[in-house]
A and B are shown apart, each in its own frame.
Chain A
Amino acid sequence: MAYEPLAISAEAMGYQRDWTRSLRSRIENGAKFAFVNADTPHEIFHAMDMPMVVNQWWSSVIAAKQLSTYTLDRGAAMGFHDSLAKYSAMGVISALDGDPDKQPWGGLPDPAILCARQSSDDQQRLFQMYADKAGTRLALLHSPAAAENLNDWWVRARDDWEALYGTARLDLMQAQITDLIADVEEITGRRFDHEGFGAYMEQIEKQELIFEEASRMIAAAERMPVRIGEQIPNVMIPQWHRGSDWAVGHAERFRDAVGERIAAGRAVVDDERVRMMWIGAGLWFDTKFYTAFEEEFGAVFAWSMYLPFAADGYVRRSKGDYLRALAARVVTMNEQLHQAPWANAWLVKQARDYRIDLAVVLVPEADRPSGYATNFITEDLREAGVEVVEIHADMVDARKWNGARAKADVIDGIRRVRGAT
């Protein structure tokens, strides 16, 4: 039986389309907006109703408009060498280029504020260039490292985050969030509502716990009920709008739709033989890759980080101090996905929970922070009995994507798994 998408997937896409139109309209009508990285405290902008364009989401829009090759070639023409990161840079290069015919929406007006965490070494350079070009204020958040990355972070981070992340780091992040609030208050002319913010944070936690239920249901299902190509928009669109009534409601609808599928015994492939996990950011320019092994091999991608990370990466119980809980959510956000032993230990746990046979690891060599810890990850997965295939490619740079080669490597991996059973 052919795979049938969830009806709610179209709803999510429709919601995002309407929101995008509304955002574009607000911006074109002069609304002050923020341009921010994905790992910054979006909650502040949401809470103060300040429109926000997320850098990495904007990169995906550029890619979807088939403008990534043009944009990256323009970056090369500007003099940026090819080893520099692409995912966080494409939106900045597009803005520096400034050609309205070669940017989504004819280009963004100048943002009122830019916000980035210095989680990787290049963020201050990238965002400074944008700030100079736009004449815009820049909120750079320091990103000091933990004294030591302690496990089991996904357990301790929910309640014991003060000890896990360290009081000094949390004090610093909380102070920076307070400064950011002052910036946004000044830009918008509105006051930050601390009481309302608490209620909003509770809504976010509710949403993430619903996603956790959905993740557990999928992991436990006899066969995969939903493709990861559908999981990702059903998680990430609500995550961009986290804490809103729509987002919480959609998380519930997604969980329920997954439950119905499992109860009905429906699966991505009837004859599921190999379960795979995709480690790394989405392969935005070739999402069909995720389904390419279903029919011939009964091999289905069951896991991507986006769904399980919703709970593990976001649930930080407030204990009455919502700004500090937000600091705990942000202070180490994406590092947990890429640094040893946080990443390797979490991925092994996820592989076990989802009964994974084969892990496909995206290794973006021109994005060092995303590529580091690869060898720890592969070794630990293999020790846990999971076969591993590495694909050396970039999540947004289609110029270097060798789809045939990647497919052949995954097929070899599937054959190794099947040979072992």
Chain B
Amino acid sequence: MRTGVFGFGAPYGVFASIGLVPVDVTLHPTQRPTAADRYIEPFMDPFAASVLRGMVAGEFDDLDAIIFLRDSPGAMIACQYAFELARRGVTPADAPAPIMLNILPADHAAADRFNRAELDRLTETLGRLGWVAERGAEGHAGAFDFLVQAQSAGEVSGENAFDTRAGVAAGRTVMAAPYAGQGPRFALLGAPLGNGVLHAALDTLGTLAIDQQALDQAHAARGTGLPDALRAQAANPFAARQPKPLYLPAVADILSEHRIDRVVWQVDAHDDLWGWLMPQVRALCADLGVGFTDLGFLPRWPEPHDIVIGEGV
């Protein structure tokens, strides 16, 4: 049985602790219209819209189930729409079964009990679909952490790091290509992207040393064994729905630790989350003497012509 996962910040350490290694379908682009489109509002999260189109178009038929991560923006609504589209007969009968999963980025006692109950429900649900836990399952934390470090060291380009991470998460065997980054050091912050086009553009201007999306992915994947992996969720400063004020101190730390010269910020046109942080990040950069460029709204799968940047970004 093959299981997919939809949403940013997939808790691979948590999954591995129960013997599950799902393939990530979040970045899979399905832009062409399908029968789902009559229900997709124009302001829907683009990744949510894409996964719904993909399910209706049969592009995930090799999967038996897709786990939707409620704590990733857009994933909860995608899962509810997936249920509803199935109920209306819009989704083909052999499409993967949607499963809602809440893993709270918190580790107080009530949250811990809740998260464990959610995992019990997940294993029961998957079990009914024929899933059998994989002995010795391993997540991708090692690969993700390695890529973060290699990218910061300029040994992997921003675009290649993006593509490699995406490949690892999607279950493909990929190797990062050697690289020698130079020039001003950038951090790409804001909302997650669906491709490496912006990363490639930044590679031409300097070293894309840090990508917030990669940091979130690496943090969320950490932890060996369930208690450790759940603690990693609570400690993830880049988790979109992190209830503690960890994000800004973490950004301050990475700007310093990775010797960032300029932050490049961007969000989706219908962003309803990350934009609340932009003025604080901009102010932080000013305090630290780090450059700040706000690219404004970008499509989540940008084309090169969407990227309007040049020297000095």
- A124 to B104 Cα, complex, angstroms: 13
Q: Which residues of A contact B168 (CB under 8 A)?
A: none
- CB-CB contacts below 8 Å: A344-373 with B: 363, 365-368, 371-372
Q: Which residues of B contact A83 (CB under 8 A)?
A: 269-272, 275, 297
In this assembly, does B277 line the interface, its C-beta being within 8 Å of a C-beta of chain A? yes
State which of B57-65, B153-161, B174-182, B241-249 sits at the interface with chain A. Answer: B241-249
Give a binary string over A116-139; 1 marks a CB under 8 Å from any B CB, 0 the rest.
001011101110110110000000
- CB-CB contacts below 8 Å: B262-276 with A: 267, 269-273, 275-276
In this assembly, does B212 line the interface, its C-beta being within 8 Å of a C-beta of chain A? no
Quick check: B110 and A372 within 8 Å, CB to CB? Answer: no
A-B CB contacts (within 8 Å), total count: 129
- A375 to B87 Cα, complex, angstroms: 15
Quick check: A122 and B117 within 8 Å, CB to CB? Answer: no
A369 → chain B, closest Cβ, in Å? Answer: 8
Quick check: A339 and B240 within 8 Å, CB to CB? Answer: no
Closest to B268 in A: A83
Number of interface residues of A (CB under 8 A): 48
In this assembly, does A81 line the interface, its C-beta being within 8 Å of a C-beta of chain B? yes
Our pick among A120, A129, A131, A365 for the contact of B43 (Cβ within 8 Å) is A365
Our pick among A149, A171, A379 for the contact of B83 (Cβ within 8 Å) is A149
Closest to A364 in B: B43
Number of interface residues of B (CB under 8 A): 50
In this assembly, does B113 line the interface, its C-beta being within 8 Å of a C-beta of chain A? yes
Q: Which residues of A contact B304 (CB under 8 A)?
A: none
In this assembly, does B32 line the interface, its C-beta being within 8 Å of a C-beta of chain A? no
Quick check: A172 and B272 within 8 Å, CB to CB? Answer: no
In this assembly, does B40 line the interface, its C-beta being within 8 Å of a C-beta of chain A? yes
In this assembly, does A238 line the interface, its C-beta being within 8 Å of a C-beta of chain B? no
In this assembly, does A168 line the interface, its C-beta being within 8 Å of a C-beta of chain B? yes
Quick check: B38 and A84 within 8 Å, CB to CB? Answer: no
B298 → chain A, closest Cβ, in Å? Answer: 12
Q: Which residues of A contact B110 (CB under 8 A)?
A: 171-172, 175-176, 179
Quick check: A341 and B276 within 8 Å, CB to CB? Answer: no
Quick check: A149 and B272 within 8 Å, CB to CB? Answer: no
Quick check: A121 and B272 within 8 Å, CB to CB? Answer: yes
Quick check: A122 and B84 within 8 Å, CB to CB? Answer: no
Quick check: B242 and A124 within 8 Å, CB to CB? Answer: yes
Give a binary string over B89-123; 1 marks a CB under 8 Å from any A CB, 0 the rest.
00000000000101010100111011001100100
Our pick among B81, B111, B270, B279 for the contact of A80 (Cβ within 8 Å) is B279
A84-B272, A368-B43 known; A121-B83 Cβ under 8 A = no
Quick check: A124 and B243 within 8 Å, CB to CB? Answer: yes
B139 → chain A, closest Cβ, in Å? Answer: 22
Quick check: B113 and A125 within 8 Å, CB to CB? Answer: no
- CB-CB contacts below 8 Å: B33-61 with A: 38-45
Question: B73, B109, B242, B243: which has the most chain A beta carbons within 10 Å?
Answer: B243
Quick check: A376 and B275 within 8 Å, CB to CB? Answer: no
In this assembly, does A85 line the interface, its C-beta being within 8 Å of a C-beta of chain B? yes
A122-B276, A129-B276, A368-B270 known; A145-B241 Cβ under 8 A = no
B239 → chain A, closest Cβ, in Å? Answer: 10
Quick check: B38 and A375 within 8 Å, CB to CB? Answer: yes
Closest to A141 in B: B243
In this assembly, does A169 line the interface, its C-beta being within 8 Å of a C-beta of chain B? yes
- A402 to B27 Cα, complex, angstroms: 37
Quick check: A121 and B240 within 8 Å, CB to CB? Answer: yes
Give a binary string over A173-189; 1 marks a CB under 8 Å from any B CB, 0 the rest.
00110010000000000
In this assembly, does B205 line the interface, its C-beta being within 8 Å of a C-beta of chain A? no
A219 → chain B, closest Cβ, in Å? Answer: 27
- A16 to B279 Cα, complex, angstroms: 37
- A228 to B57 Cα, complex, angstroms: 44
Quick check: B83 and A140 within 8 Å, CB to CB? Answer: no
- A173 to B308 Cα, complex, angstroms: 46
- CB-CB contacts below 8 Å: B70-96 with A: 70, 73, 76-77, 79-81, 83-84, 87
Q: Which residues of B contact A403 (CB under 8 A)?
A: none
- A311 to B114 Cα, complex, angstroms: 29
- CB-CB contacts below 8 Å: B206-231 with A: none
Closest to B40 in A: A375
In this assembly, does B200 line the interface, its C-beta being within 8 Å of a C-beta of chain A? no
Q: Which residues of A contact B106 (CB under 8 A)?
A: 142
In this assembly, does A144 line the interface, its C-beta being within 8 Å of a C-beta of chain B? yes
Quick check: B241 and A121 within 8 Å, CB to CB? Answer: yes
Give a binary string over A83-127; 1 marks a CB under 8 Å from any B CB, 0 the rest.
111000000000000000000000000000000001011101110
In this assembly, does A263 line the interface, its C-beta being within 8 Å of a C-beta of chain B? no
A284 → chain B, closest Cβ, in Å? Answer: 20
* Closest 6 pairs between A and B when the two form their complex, measured CB to CB: A175-B110, A144-B102, A79-B279, A168-B117, A125-B276, A340-B84
Can you list 22 contacts pairing A with B, beta carbon distance less than 8 Å? A79-B279, A80-B276, A84-B271, A121-B73, A121-B241, A124-B243, A125-B277, A129-B276, A140-B243, A142-B243, A144-B118, A145-B102, A149-B80, A168-B114, A169-B114, A171-B110, A340-B81, A340-B83, A365-B41, A365-B43, A368-B272, A375-B38
